[in-house]
Chain A
């Protein structure tokens, strides 16, 4: 099987009439990498994928695969295989005919096609099911057939458009592990699209977070989660408490921001180092799990006083809904260490945080899901 190759997007612009679906995308995806595009519905993920696979031509900029410019090379001539959001298996063909379709197009003899299809059926653990029709398979099995069909074309890059979105949660988690395992085994470059951030973070080597056609940040899961580049990334990936305010002081990569819950100290995000000046509008992001009821060693600038207005017990975690006297609401997630009675509804408490785990960013659009 062909190994993975690199994929580069260079100043990519894709327009539908006047509407700009993807703007100034610059991405380099390394050979053999599992790369995800993450973003809310309509942000241009599918558009990027269709441009890479050749169904759309860029309005400007270029797509390079293995260093070669792909301009005007059709989808059937590119070393990519696309797995569609709805799989698009062929209903009138048997499972093995589906899988071996690309070989049929190359004019490979029936016996050899069948043999290759059977090998791939073994790879996806569907041995002996080649003569069934697609409608006789379960959702997860269809999924695997779609992967096998794409792999059979021996692509160097596999493009996956939210292939797990139609599955139920359990199966989805199972298929994530399986996909990642297949990717390691075949060593191909996987480009994966999802609007599920858990999926992106667990599976990918690198993630690009998109909003309205613009890539806001590219990085590994950890940097996206811990060191977001924009307010949108901070609010879209994972849960976050957003506390808007104005910068009062900047020193040594830390900022003091006057927010509705008082003056807070937070680390300035790496991407925002040069942007946060005194007097600028900023947002302090504090993850729920960064808030702690243990206030020992905390200063005023790392403590928030609030009333408990709700709680959700989840077993390993206890989620508290807090309200500051200004009306600002916050969420805190505490690890269940057997302490009870410290936080009953209506009680007042002080929640402290490590200023290195709070992130200050220039104000900007937040995720609508927040």
Chain B
């Protein structure tokens, strides 16, 4: 089909006014809110950090210096590579992946129960119970976690009262508070795609498998999980991307010695006021996360189109 006839058909189907509005809104969204800002970021990331007076001057040329800095650090660095930044980057990716897996492990049973087991009122109550905590804003929730996991928090005092531990555990330094906070922050983003996928699975499939001798865990590995794969992918992708890009939770809950990569980016922008380097780091995070997600999708044989299902 040619472009023109596609456009014509689209306008016919939606009417001229609505059709034009949709076209305008979508192109505005894509162009001004996604493509142009990203292009500007790429442009930034390829420039030197110059004082305002020299911008546009003879020194203002494109360079890969900021990317080079991420890998090798300052010139004359004794390590030969940027141990600090690459280290933070690696830990952030691994931690985000860990948060994603943890989140999936927590949310899958909930989504399965909600989609296939709970009925009527029970299901509605559960859905509301899942949503309501999110009326509390993210910052407040993070602080609440800090209090719960603090040295004199509920968890430590309970464990101490029960005589399980003598001295309070430093959950903050061990990053346990951070993982819990991040995991909790994205529960909904995981539950609902999973719920959607599992909900459309015909109950008879589960019963047929059971009737044919499948124990409960085989029903999950052989029937439910393969069927829910698109939902799993979209849930995990969202949680991973958002966890890797989270700022507030690491800021509040992160241990003093463990930085999240976004905190480095934030620092470049607002503390060092080195926008080009901040932009380069942000783009490194974006590209790395995207590549990783695509790689994992290939590994699990999920196509991009399926996620939208």
Q: What residues of chain A have their CB less than 8 Å away from a CB belonging to chain B? A: 53, 55, 74-76, 80-82, 84-86, 88-90, 92, 101-102, 104-106, 149-150, 153
Q: Is the beta-carbon distance between A53 and B211 smaller than 8 angstroms?
A: yes
| Cβ distance B127 to chain A, nearest Cβ, rounded Å | 23
Q: B202's closest neighbor in chain A, by CB?
A: A88
Q: Is the beta-carbon distance between A90 and B213 smaller than 8 angstroms?
A: no
Q: Is the beta-carbon distance between A90 and B202 smaller than 8 angstroms?
A: no
What separation, in Å, do the CA atoms of A106 and B223 have in the docked complex? 16
What are the 10 A-B residue pairs with the smallest beta carbon separation, nearest first? A88-B204, A88-B208, A102-B212, A105-B213, A84-B204, A76-B213, A75-B211, A105-B214, A82-B211, A92-B226
| B209 located at the interface, meaning its Cβ lies under 8 Å from any Cβ of chain A in the complex | yes
| Cβ distance A142 to chain B, nearest Cβ, rounded Å | 13
What separation, in Å, do the CA atoms of A90 and B204 have in the docked complex? 10
Residues of A contacting B210 with CB < 8 Å? 74-76
A105-B202 CB under 8 A given contacts A55-B207, A88-B207, A92-B226: no
Residues of B contacting A92 with CB < 8 Å? 226-227
Q: Is the beta-carbon distance between B202 and A75 smaller than 8 angstroms?
A: no
Residues of B contacting A105 with CB < 8 Å? 212-215, 218
- Grouping DSSP codes into helix (H, G, I), strand (E, B) and loop, the B interface class, with mixed when no group exceeds half, is helix
Residues of A contacting B214 with CB < 8 Å? 76, 101, 105
8 Å CB interface, B203-241 against A: 204-205, 207-215, 218, 222-223, 226-227
8 Å CB interface, B177-214 against A: 202, 204-205, 207-214
What is the size, in residues, of chain B's interface with A at 8 Å between Cβ atoms?
Answer: 17
Jot down 13 A-B pairs with beta carbons below 8 A, ordered by A.
A76-B210, A84-B208, A85-B204, A86-B204, A88-B202, A90-B223, A101-B214, A102-B212, A102-B213, A105-B215, A106-B213, A149-B212, A153-B211
| Cβ distance B63 to chain A, nearest Cβ, rounded Å | 50
Query: Which among B207, B208, B215 has the greatest number of chain A C-beta atoms within 10 A?
Result: B208
What separation, in Å, do the CA atoms of A53 and B205 have in the docked complex? 15
Q: B208's closest neighbor in chain A, by CB?
A: A88
What separation, in Å, do the CA atoms of A30 and B118 have in the docked complex? 39
Query: Which among B202, B204, B218, B227 has the greatest number of chain A C-beta atoms within 10 A?
Result: B204
Given contacts A55-B207, A149-B212, 17 further A-B contacts (CB under 8 A): A76-B210, A76-B215, A82-B208, A82-B211, A84-B204, A84-B207, A86-B204, A88-B205, A90-B208, A90-B223, A92-B226, A92-B227, A101-B209, A102-B212, A104-B222, A105-B214, A153-B212
8 Å CB interface, B106-122 against A: none
Q: Is the beta-carbon distance between A90 and B205 smaller than 8 angstroms?
A: yes
What separation, in Å, do the CA atoms of A80 and B202 have in the docked complex? 21
| Cβ distance A20 to chain B, nearest Cβ, rounded Å | 20
| Cβ distance B248 to chain A, nearest Cβ, rounded Å | 40
What separation, in Å, do the CA atoms of A82 and B207 have in the docked complex? 9
Q: Is the beta-carbon distance between B211 and A76 smaller than 8 angstroms?
A: yes
What separation, in Å, do the CA atoms of A53 and B227 have in the docked complex? 25
Q: A53's closest neighbor in chain B, by CB?
A: B211
Q: B201's closest neighbor in chain A, by CB?
A: A91
Q: Is the beta-carbon distance between B202 and A86 smaller than 8 angstroms?
A: yes
What separation, in Å, do the CA atoms of A55 and B226 have in the docked complex? 24
Residues of B contacting A106 with CB < 8 Å? 213
Q: B226's closest neighbor in chain A, by CB?
A: A92
A81-B211 CB under 8 A given contacts A88-B204, A90-B223: yes
Residues of B contacting A82 with CB < 8 Å? 207-208, 211
| Cβ distance B222 to chain A, nearest Cβ, rounded Å | 8
What separation, in Å, do the CA atoms of A153 and B207 have in the docked complex? 14
Q: B206's closest neighbor in chain A, by CB?
A: A88
Q: Is the beta-carbon distance between A153 and B208 smaller than 8 angstroms?
A: no
Residues of A contacting B223 with CB < 8 Å? 90
Residues of B contacting A153 with CB < 8 Å? 211-213
Residues of B contacting A76 with CB < 8 Å? 210-215
Q: B223's closest neighbor in chain A, by CB?
A: A90
What separation, in Å, do the CA atoms of A86 and B201 have in the docked complex? 13
Query: Which among A75, A85, A89, A102 has the greatest number of chain B C-beta atoms within 10 A?
Result: A75
What separation, in Å, do the CA atoms of A54 and B263 have in the docked complex? 57
> Which one of A55, A74, A101 lies within 8 Å of B212 (CB-CB)?
A101
| Cβ distance A87 to chain B, nearest Cβ, rounded Å | 8
Residues of A contacting B215 with CB < 8 Å? 76, 105
Residues of A contacting B204 with CB < 8 Å? 84-86, 88
Q: A74's closest neighbor in chain B, by CB?
A: B210
What separation, in Å, do the CA atoms of A159 and B95 have in the docked complex? 51
